[in-house]
Amino acid sequence: MATPYFTQDNKTPDVSLSSLSKPELVSLHKGLIARIRELENLMQVVSKGKYTWEATFDAISEPVMIVNKEFTVERANLATAKMGGEEITKVVGKKCYQIFAGRETPCEHCPLKTTLANGELAHAKLGNKIHLQDFDAHAYPFPNEKGELRSAVLYYRNVTEELRLRQELIQQEKMAAIGMLAGGVAHEINNPLGGVLAFTQLLLKRVTDAETKEDLNEIEKAAIRCKKIVQELLDFSRVSKEKEKCLVYVNMLLEKVIPFVQMEIRSLNIDVHFDLKPDVPAVMAVPNRLQQVFLNLLTNACHAMPRGGKLTLTTSYHKEAKEVFISVKDSGMGIPKEIQNRIFEPFFTTKDPGKGTGLGLSISYRIIKENGGSIDVDSEMNKGTSFTIRLPAAP
CA dihedral (295, 301, 305, 306) in degrees, to 10, reads: 40
Least confident residue range of 16-25, 144-153, 202-211, 379-388: 16-25
- Top-confidence residue, 39 or 256: 256
- pLDDT tens across 42-99, in order? 777 666 666 666 667 677 778 888 889 888 988 888 888 887 777 877 888 888 888 8
Tell me what pLDDT residue 2 has: 46
Q: What percent of the chain has pLDDT over 70?
A: 80
Band of pLDDT at residue 131, cut at 50, 70 and 90? low
Average the pLDDT over 101-105 and give the result: 82
Is the pLDDT reported for residue 168 higher than 70?
Answer: no
CA 1 from centre of chain: 79
- Give the sign of the dihedral formed by CA 10, CA 13, CA 18, CA 24: negative
Helix (H, G, I), strand (E, B) or coil at 387: strand
Band of pLDDT at residue 311, cut at 50, 70 and 90? very high
CA dihedral (306, 310, 311, 312) in degrees, to 10, reads: -160
How does DSSP classify residue 259? Answer: G
Band of pLDDT at residue 129, cut at 50, 70 and 90? low
- Top-confidence residue, 158 or 19: 158
Average the pLDDT over 322-349 and give the result: 85
Q: What percent of the chain has pLDDT over 90?
A: 12
Rounded mean pLDDT of the chain?
80
- Give the sign of the dihedral formed by CA 136, CA 141, CA 144, CA 148: positive
Average the pLDDT over 130-151 and give the result: 83
- Measured CA to CA, the distance from residue 231 to residue 273 in angstroms comes to 32
Band of pLDDT at residue 209, cut at 50, 70 and 90? confident
Tell me what pLDDT residue 134 has: 83
Give pTM, 2 decimals. 0.51
Is the pLDDT reported for residue 366 higher than 70?
Answer: yes
Listing DSSP states for 288-342 in one string gives: HHHHHHHHHHHHHHHHT-TT-EEEEEEEEEETTTTEEEEEEEE-SS---GGGGGG
Is the pLDDT reported for residue 238 higher than 50?
Answer: yes
CA atoms within 13 A on the CB side of 303: 14
Is the pLDDT reported for residue 1 higher than 90?
Answer: no
